[in-house]
Chain A
Amino acid sequence: MTQHLPEAHPQHPVLSVSGACKRFGSVVALDNVSIDVHRGEILALLGDNGAGKSTLIKCISGVHRLDAGDVVIDGAANVLRSPADARLAGIETVYQDLALFDNLTPAQNFFAGREIAGPRWFPRAMRFLNKRKMDEQTRSLIQSLNVSLPHLDAVVALMSGGQRQAIAVARSAVFARKVVILDEPTAALGQRESRKVLDLIGALRDRGNAIILITHNMEHVTELACRAVVLRQGRRVGELVPTRDNKQELVSMIVGA
């Protein structure tokens, strides 16, 4: 089956959503939306506020369930009942609010909910933490992603906005095996800090992940994304290969002018 040899079939999308529908009461948040992403590709998901981007990624990351439509991961249909299901399926999400624990260190944040612990025959909650191993893995990951975190033993509350964003993105890198979804990863950052996060996203892609990037920054879209899909009022209204020249076209697709 393809899910065992994903690299051997690069032409198959690693994640394929088809016919996605989702309503909240009488509001139609998603109306028959389909997207595909491949390994090593960055897909920009664009749209105005309320276009359905957030609903779509929440359905892919297991926070909401689709009313209709399929999520196919590596050729196998999946029902994502919870965020834990999505993570098990190899989908990592970097939320807009970062979902970081301010009172924990970067290493503790990385492994929150997926602690390395033993012995295995203990019930999971009662296992003893392998702190050294988690610290080691954190250090080597931070090095390999070229993130500068001077105070690895300090709690995240003490770190700057860019460092926090980097930690959230790096956390997804620890476990991402297939898809990483990023919701406005640079919205709250200055130019220099944005640059670092964009490099990090590139590194995640180079590791063979498929990336779904939500952003309002057209510069970042043209620089990074292979394709851009535009949503408007819950519908998919178009797809483009973003370049410097068709930026205007993309913007008018977003606002519907």
Chain B
Amino acid sequence: MTGMDESLEREVAEPRSAAVANSENIAVAVGLKLLGAGAVLILIGLVLVLSLLSPYFLSPRNLGNILAQTAVVCVVAMGQHLVILTKGIDLSVGSNLALASVLGALSFHAGASTLTVVAVMVVAGAAVGAVNGLFYVYGRLPHPFIITLATLSIAKGIALQLADGRAIPGMPPAIRSLGQEAFAGLPGSVFVVAGVAGLMFVLTQSTVWGRWVYAVGGKADAAVRMGIPVSAVLVSTYVISGTCAGIGAVLLAGRTDAGSPLFGNLLELDTIAAVIIGGASFLGGRGHIGHALIGAIMIGVIRNALNLLNVGVFYQLIVIGVVIVIAVEADVLRNHLESRMRVLRAETGP
């Protein structure tokens, strides 16, 4: 390359003064930081506003209610988050949870021990997840939408058939108290959420498998060329998502003292919304467990607030939908700012 080329390039890059480029650089960086912390900021703002609007909102009893009601969505959303990290989706989580709870109730009435009832629910959830993953990967389906839509229907049908369309009351005392009682001032389900979250955090952030999940979500064909076992990684995310639905079944069955084929209606919507609202990218490869948790809590807070403010149940669906659109647009904006950042860095050089 000649010296002339180099000076030419510099002339093209320099008409905008360095100061202007630099201030835009800072603005873009600040924008990205704000978007990254957006969900947390909104949640804090929401809590502040609500505590002013309703004196009851911050009472320990109401906060305990929110946590207990959110626990199921939190656990299942963490599984959903893994699937979304790999650019997938799991529509079957709600039906999966319903089927697991029915199988748990049936096994309890057949005389199974508490531990066996828990195992039945968790393993049933994992099994439906395995069906999803195996058909998606080895059935060479173009997208997990179809297979998880199919298992949504199939699991629901099996659950309704087995339970004859009705809830089956009765759960072992230990499961009931986990779902209903408080320990050290916190609902029992909160400890389950914390345990699952801690395990998921370590798995996704500190293990080789976790790194592979992000790589597969970032660029699956590159992951194949780098020797990452992509098929196994994909299947594992659906198995874990199903397992989380099974754990959710334990919590919900405990809270209601029943297994029911009607559990988990629209849970897929809530969990997907939680992951997206929390700030993980629907385009895959980006996000962490905290996003799923914050999104789930935010949905719980919005629901609770609308109840306290006497806003009708139907409006809740509308509000949640609007929030999803805002969250997805924020993701689009983030991608746009990032490409702007890339251009700026290329212009200003290292």
Contact = CB atoms under 8 A, between A and B. Distances in A.
**A pairs with B:** yes
Query: Taking each of A63, A112, A151, A190, which has the highest tally of chain B beta carbons within 10 Å of its own beta carbon?
Result: A112
A115 B211 contact: yes
B227 interface: yes
Contacts of A115: 208, 211
Contacts of B11: none
A63 B225 contact: yes
Contacts of A158: 338, 341-342, 345
Q: How big is chain B's contact interface, by range?
A: 35 or more
Interface stretch (A27-35, A44-52, A72-80, A123-131): A123-131
A8 B146 CA distance: 58
B215 A113 contact: yes
A126 to B, nearest CB: 6
Given A99-B219, A129-B208, A159-B342, A150 B9 contact: no
Given A129-B206, A191-B9, A150 B227 contact: no
A160 B215 CA distance: 20
A126 B208 contact: yes
A181 to B, nearest CB: 12
Contact of A83 (B5, B225, B341): B225
B227 A87 contact: yes
B222 A99 contact: yes
A102 B218 contact: yes
Contact of A195 (B1, B209, B221, B345): B1
Contact of B226 (A113, A161, A191, A192): A113
B209 A126 contact: yes
A160 B209 CA distance: 29
Contacts, number: 108
Given A127-B208, A129-B207, A112 B226 contact: yes
Interface in B314-332: none
Contacts of B192: none
B227 A83 contact: yes
A54 to B, nearest CB: 14
B207 A104 contact: no
Interface of B: 1, 5-6, 9, 206-212, 214-215, 217-219, 221-229, 232, 284-286, 338, 341-342, 345-346, 350
17 contacts: A84-B227, A101-B223, A102-B218, A102-B285, A103-B284, A103-B285, A112-B215, A112-B226, A113-B212, A115-B208, A127-B208, A151-B345, A159-B345, A160-B342, A190-B9, A191-B9, A195-B1
Interface of A: 63, 82-84, 87, 93, 95, 97, 99-104, 108, 112-115, 117, 124-129, 148-151, 157-162, 190-192, 194-195
